[in-house]
Amino acid sequence: MLSKSLVCLASLALLFVSAQALVIQHNGVPGGDRVRAFKQHGIAVDAPEHDHFRGKGVVSVNGTGFVLSSDQQGIVGTASGILYHGGTVLNNSPAIYLIFYGNWAGSTTPQILIDLASNQNSATYHSILQTYYSKTATNFYFVTNPPRYGGVAYDTSYAYGTSLTDQNILDIVSYNIKNGAISGGRVVSNALYFVVTSADVTATSGMCTKYCGWHTSAVIGNGVVRYSYLGSPMRCPNSCSKAQNVYPNDNREADGIANILMHELVESMSDADVDAWYDGTYSENADKCAWTFGTTYTAPNGATANMKIGNRHFLVQQNWVNAKGGYCGLTYTPGQ
C-alpha cells in the first residue's frame, strides 16, 4: 500500500479487502504504520492459493533436503526483517493489464505508463524479487521472472461516476474483463490489473487522505483476480508525488503514478493475496522503503531519476531486499 500521510495512520485500520496500500507521508516524512485489516464490503476474498504457478523458479528436493544455491541458502536461513506467512507469490512473469478510467483525452500519461509496463524486463529493480519465494513440502518457488505487459483498456464511460467505492473499483475490473476489453475476456490469475483513474476521479475510502494506491485480490466467477487502484497524484500532488522542478518524463502525473505503480507491482508479486510476505507491523516489502529513493542521477532533461526502464527515466521508491539482514535498495546481485 502506498501513500504519504496527511493523517497519522499508526492506529487506523484501513478497511480494504485484504488490501495493502501505499501510505501518505506528512511533510515529506513517512507516515505511521497502517494496520492490516479486511474490508467487509461484500467483495469475495480469495482463499490462499497454493499452486504458485509451478514451473518457473522451482528449486526441487533431493534425498538430503532442499537443493538451494548458496545465495538462496543465505536468503532462507537468515532473518531479514520480513517473514513468509505461507501465501501466494507470482513468480512466473505475471501480465500487467492497465485500465484507464475517466478522461485521458490529450494526456501523455497513458503512453508513458504503457512504456513503463512494456519494458519491465529491462528493470534491474526486479532483481530484488529474487529474494522472495513461496514454498511447499517439496519445493521452493523463487520469484525469478519479471512481469510482462499484457494489454490496455480505456474506460471513458464514467459508468461508476467520479467518486468510486472499493466495490466500484472491482466492478471496473470485472466489467472490462467480461466485455472483452482486456485479457481476452477472461480472468487471468497470473496477472495484475491496474485501475488508473484520471484527475477528476477519486476513491471514497481514502484517496489523498489515507493512500495513493493499493492492491488486493478477489474472486470473479471461477477466477482469482489480483488488482490495484492507482489514483491520479494531481488530486493531491504534495501528498502523492515527489515534488521536483522538472519531472523525468515532463509529466508530474505520469511520473507520480509510475512510482505508485512500481510500488504496488512488487508488493503484488511478493504478496499476491496479502497472505505471503510482510513484517511484524504488517508492512509489505515496498512499504518498508516508502518514499526513500536511494542513489539518484540527473536525467537528460535535468530531472532527478534513479532508474532507466526502456528508453525512459523514472524516480521510483526503493524495495526491501530480503537478504543479508534486510535493507532498502534499487537492485540486488546474488552473492554480493
> Could you please report the per-residue DSSP string of 168-192?
HHHHHHHHHHHTTSSGGGS--SSEE
Residue 3 lies in a domain: no
Q: How many residues does the chain have?
A: 336
Least confident piece of the model among 68-72, 169-173, 248-252:
68-72
Helix-, strand-, coil-residue percentages of the chain, each rounded to 5: 20, 25, 50
Note the maximum CA span of the chain: 61
DSSP conformation class of 235:
G
Whether the predicted pLDDT of 62 surpasses 50 = no
Query: 188-239 pLDDT, tens per residue?
Result: 999 999 999 999 999 999 999 999 999 999 999 889 999 999 999 999 999 9
The helix or strand, by DSSP H or E, that contains position 255, with its residue range, turns out to be helix 252-270
* pLDDT-above-90 percentage for the chain: 69
Residue 7 lies in a domain: no
- The secondary structure of 61-85 as a DSSP string is EETTEE---HHHHHHHHS--S-EE-
Cell of 37: 485489516
Distance CA 39, CA 41 (A): 6
Q: Which of 172, 157, 150, 121 is nearest to 309 (CA)?
A: 121
Domain count along the chain: 1
* Intra-chain end-to-end CA distance of the chain, in Å: 29
Interior angle at CA 228, CA 131 and CA 201, nearest 5:
145
Whether the predicted pLDDT of 25 surpasses 50 = no
| Strand-pair partners of 62 | 65
* Contact between residue 280 and residue 307 where contact means Cβ atoms under 8 Å apart: no
Residue 200 lies in a domain: yes
Distance CA 40, CA 151 (A): 30
Residue 201 lies in a domain: yes
* pLDDT-above-70 percentage for the chain: 78
Whether the predicted pLDDT of 106 surpasses 50 = yes
Residue 268 lies in a domain: yes
Query: 276-320 pLDDT, tens per residue?
Result: 999 999 999 999 999 999 999 999 999 999 999 999 999 999 999
Interior angle at CA 5, CA 88 and CA 18, nearest 5:
25
Higher pLDDT, 295 or 54: 295
Helix/strand/coil for 24 = strand
Residue 76 lies in a domain: yes
Cell of 21: 496500500
Strand pairing report for 307-309 and 312-314: antiparallel
| Strand-pair partners of 93 | none
52 class by beta-carbon count within 10 Å (0-12 exposed, 13-18 middle, 19+ buried): buried
Residue 278 lies in a domain: yes
Query: 145-180 pLDDT, tens per residue?
Result: 899 999 999 999 999 999 999 999 999 999 999 999
Residue 235 lies in a domain: yes
The helix or strand, by DSSP H or E, that contains position 164, with its residue range, turns out to be strand 163-164
Q: Which of 244, 150, 161, 264 is nearest to 203 (CA)?
A: 161
The domain in which residue 272 lies consists of: 54-329
CA dihedral 309, 80, 57, 59 (to 10 degrees): 160
